[in-house]
């Protein structure tokens, strides 16, 4: 049995919702000990929003929360309470890495900011993530990835030229941002290993997300071109699109990337004459007549089930794929082969399928999901006694004064 990669690395996670929790999963899924610091008085937004097992909202019943938090422990403390903040300081003293994603200034107000943390733990690596970063006129901006997907440019360029944008679903930029953060945390660990120094890592999710959108922005700044919308078309390929097949809302994505593939495509759809047709023979012809070309392809795809169309095109060597629905993904043989979904037994939700966060498999130390997402406060005893070595009396005092929270009395009313 190989050692776990990040065995011994300790993360105190004050961060919530998506970016911070997704970031720490890269460490947790390779062996780090991650403790989430939550409160019954202010539930993680993901605990309030479903899907809920059984359809009834409860703080421990959301697989939206579940998805972002397997392999982690959870304690419940009230950071508004001075004795809760005392516990938070103990967690910082215990940790190698602190993550937080409150509005800028909140942790500082509580005496838990980076400058406070390094007094407690001089080599701490402290990660703050916010929508638009520290400093500047928009630093206080509060929101979600759902907001950032718009001001980062992704919405404007997505959809049809004759309509308003079709923005990317949900909190897309959160899933972009967490990648940069995970890489940076590991680089900071490496720097600390070599020098003994910790540091402060500060993320503007806006700035991280723009890395996935840099060429269009540079194109404006250099050439003055404002990027618009063009459906599923791509300047360097034709045909390139999503076409309807038989069945209920079934679609296939296909892309003909070069001339060889075009020849093969024409034969595969039973129209070898297209390859020499003056309207479609060359790439330039196909671009010029793309509307007509797409009509011809639609007339072909609609005769087949989406699986048949994919099989015919793959056999011909054409990049193509069923537009997979959630129900397809859970039975996708490739995902099964790589064991992407891992069933685990959750105390309240029962057996649930968790997704890997790391999308890579290391040959000697493969990713591992071994513990379901935590119920709120589930590991209070373990963390306070075993990790922080607190006595039963001390713990009891925190329970009595309410700085360890144990009861949820708020509203589980969902907003979406």
Partner 1 sequence: MSTINEEKSALSHVRILDLTEGGCMLGGKLFSDMGADVIKIEPPGGSPSRIPPYYKEIEDPQKSIFWFAYNTNKRGITLNLRTPEGQELFKKLAKTADVILESFGVGYMDSLGLGYKEISKIKPNIIYASITPFGQSGPKAGYKASDLTLWASGGFLNDCGDPDRAPVWIGFGPQASFFGGAEAAIGAMTALWYRSRTGEGQFIDVSIQESTMSSNMNVLPMWDVNGVEFKRVGAVSFVAATRVRQPIYFKCKDGLVMILALGGNDPYASSSERLVQWMKDEGMCPDWLAKLNWWKDYNAAVLKQDLADKVGQAIEAFTMTKTKAELYEIGAFGKYKQILVAPVSNTRDISEDIQLKARQFWVNLPHPELNDSLPYCGPYIRMSETPITLRKRAPLTGEDNRKIYLGELGLSDASLKALQDKGVI
Catalytic site positions: 174
Q: List, in sequence order, every residue forming a beta bridge with 346; answer none if it has no partner.
A: 350
> Which whole-number Å values give the CA distances from 209 to 81, 184, 214, in the listed order?
35, 15, 9
Sign of CA dihedral 87, 92, 93, 94: positive
Rg (CA), the chain: 25
Give Cα 241 distance to the centre of its chain: 26
191 or 283: CB nearest partner 1: 191
Taking the C-alpha atoms of residue 4 and residue 365, their distance in angstroms, rounded to an integer, is 7
- Min CB(384)–partner 1 separation in Å: 29
- Min CB(144)–partner 1 separation in Å: 8
277 or 328: CB nearest partner 1: 328
409 or 413: CB nearest partner 1: 413
Let me know how long the chain is.
416
- Min CB(361)–partner 1 separation in Å: 5
66 or 377: CB nearest partner 1: 66
Q: What are the tokens at 396?
A: 């009891």
3-state secondary structure of 114: helix
Helix or strand (DSSP H, E) at 269: none
Q: Which of 354, 295, 385 is nearest to 87 (CA)?
A: 385
- Min CB(46)–partner 1 separation in Å: 9
Taking the C-alpha atoms of residue 220 and residue 214, their distance in angstroms, rounded to an integer, is 10
- Min CB(254)–partner 1 separation in Å: 7
288 or 385: CB nearest partner 1: 288
């Amino acid at each position: 049995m190989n050692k776990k990669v990040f065995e011994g690395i300790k993360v105190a996670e004050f961060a919530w919702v998506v970016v911070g929790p997704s970031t720490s999963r890269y460490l947790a899924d390779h062996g780090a000990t991650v403790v989430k610091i939550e409160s019954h008085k202010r539930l993680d937004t993901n605990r309030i929003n479903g899907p809920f097992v059984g359809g009834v909202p409860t703080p421990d019943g959301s697989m939206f929360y579940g998805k972002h938090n397997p392999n982690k422990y959870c304690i419940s403390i009230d950071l508004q309470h001075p004795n809760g903040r005392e516990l938070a300081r103990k967690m910082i003293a215990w940790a190698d890495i602190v993550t937080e994603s409150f509005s800028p200034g909140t942790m500082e107000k509580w005496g838990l900011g980076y400058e406070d943390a390094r007094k407690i733990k001089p080599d701490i690596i402290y990660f703050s993530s916010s929508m638009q970063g520290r400093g500047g006129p928009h630093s206080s901006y509060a929101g979600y990835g759902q907001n950032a997907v718009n001001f980062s440019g992704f919405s404007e360029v997505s959809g049809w030229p004759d309509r308003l944008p079709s923005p990317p679903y949900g909190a897309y930029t959160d899933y972009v941002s967490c990648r940069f953060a995970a890489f940076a945390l590991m680089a900071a660990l490496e720097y600390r290993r070599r020098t003994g120094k910790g540091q402060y890592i500060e993320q503007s999710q806006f700035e991280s997300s723009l890395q996935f959108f840099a060429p269009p922005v540079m194109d404006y700044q250099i050439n003055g071109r404002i990027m618009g919308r063009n459906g599923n078309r791509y300047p360097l390929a034709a045909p390139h699109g999503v076409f309807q097949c038989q069945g209920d809302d079934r679609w296939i994505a296909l892309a003909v990337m070069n001339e060889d593939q075009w020849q093969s495509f024409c034969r595969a759809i039973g129209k070898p004459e297209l390859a020499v047709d003056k309207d479609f023979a060359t790439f330039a012809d196909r671009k010029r007549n793309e509307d007509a070309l797409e009509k011809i392809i639609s007339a072909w795809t609609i005769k087949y089930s989406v699986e048949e169309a994919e099989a015919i095109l793959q056999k011909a060597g054409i990049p193509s794929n069923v537009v997979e629905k959630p129900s397809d993904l859970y039975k996708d043989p490739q995902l099964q082969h790589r064991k992407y979904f891992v069933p685990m037994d959750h105390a309240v939700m029962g057996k649930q399928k968790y997704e890997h966060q790391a999308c890579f498999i290391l040959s000697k130390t493969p990713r591992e999901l071994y513990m379901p997402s935590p119920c709120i406060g589930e590991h209070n005893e373990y963390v306070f006694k075993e990790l922080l070595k607190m006595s039963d009396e001390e713990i009891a005092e925190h329970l009595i004064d309410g700085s360890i929270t144990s009861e949820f009395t708020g509203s589980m009313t969902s907003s979406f």
